[in-house]
Amino acid sequence: MKSMKKLFSTMLALLLVFCSLSAGMTVLAAEETALAETPFSSFVVGGTKVDFTKYESYDILNYKKTSAKVEWKLNDGWSAEVSAFGDKRDTVKNGGSVQVKKGDSIFVDVSATRKDGKIKYYTVYIFNGKPRLEGGTIWMGRSEYWPSWSGLRGASKLVSITSSKKAVLGVKKGDSLGNCTLLPKKPGSAKVTVVVKVNGKKMTLSANYTVKKYPNALKELKVDGKSINLKKNKFGIQTIVSKNKVKLEYKIAKGWKAKCSYYDYKSNKRVNVKSGGTLPANNWVVFQLTRGKDTFWYEIGITK
């Protein structure tokens, strides 16, 4: 009888231990299940609610204020670090504001970490102004040009790109705005239209381009006494020199004005160079040649 009681007591104790362990495992499982898959229950920038479950990279365009308040609510088990990157990178506190000048843009970078080590990254791009495709003059002599724009990211998904006059200006489509190109065929005018997807919605931008004959604005060019073949190197050249100081000589075509400059790293500013002047080697020289509304650029990379 005593043996039966002892056996019963032992079995009861083991059952209690098993129940206790099961309960503990159930609590742990519940805690693990409670960890949210997404970091934020809400994330708001400049009054716009950003849904990171749909877009890990989100664009806010046509923003009309110079500051944007950034505020968020975290789900259980998550922490977040937020920073703003424009001219420099600054930490952003919950409820703090980021500055975005008119016609300028800024990135809000988000890093969220779950307590089990899972990390997620997000970006919000803000542009203060209306996005646009930049038109202008395209010079014959180069096989292709990359179009310029403002307000959109180069990584924006390109849906289509078309030219109103393919015989004047052709187009080459890439998968993003940043890798499509314009192909000048002959002098004339054409309207280029691009359709991109931003936050899943289509946006259309258009601009007028004028294709012109190569201007021959730069008539003669010598770098360190060496004449540059301008017919072969129509838009720029990279050249190697043997001296620390390089002499630059050039002649400009009649009717054109020239501004020739390089960046001086000691003074942190651009320095103009007249024909016959000198500049340090290992530099990048830029010619800005203008005639009326026309502008032509020529670049020289000088390496010792």
**How many residues comprise the chain?**
304
Same domain, 202 and 237: no
Q: What is the pLDDT of residue 33?
A: 58
Is 22 inside a domain boundary?
no
Q: What is the pLDDT of residue 21?
A: 47
Q: Hey, which residues does 108 pair with through a beta bridge?
A: 84, 124
Same domain, 143 and 123: no
What token pair was written down for 123? 């970006």
* Dihedral pair phi/psi, residue 81, rounded to 5°: -120, 130
Residue ranges of the chain whose pLDDT lies below 70:
1-33
Q: What is the pLDDT of residue 86?
A: 87
Secondary structure (3-state) at 20: helix
Q: What is the pLDDT of residue 28?
A: 44
Is 31 inside a domain boundary?
no
The enclosing domain of 187 has a CATH number of: 2.60.40.1080
Q: What is the pLDDT of residue 35?
A: 84
Same domain, 247 and 285: yes
Q: What is the pLDDT of residue 88?
A: 87
Q: What is the pLDDT of residue 294?
A: 92
Closest among 163, 114, 109 to 135, alpha carbons compared: 163
Is 173 inside a domain boundary?
yes
Same domain, 113 and 143: no
Is 249 inside a domain boundary?
yes
Is 190 inside a domain boundary?
yes
Q: What is the pLDDT of residue 246?
A: 94
Structural domain total, the chain: 3
Q: What is the pLDDT of residue 80?
A: 97
The enclosing domain of 288 has a CATH number of: 2.60.40
Same domain, 147 and 203: yes
Same domain, 173 and 232: no
For the entire predicted model, the pTM comes to 0.80
Domain assignment of residue 110, given as a range: 40-127
* Domain-ending residue, one of 212, 229, 249: 212
Burial class (CB within 10 angstroms; exposed 0-12, middle 13-18, buried 19+) of 87:
exposed
- Edge-to-edge strands, sheet with 294-303: 236-240, 294-303, 283-291, 257-264, 269-272
Same domain, 228 and 156: no
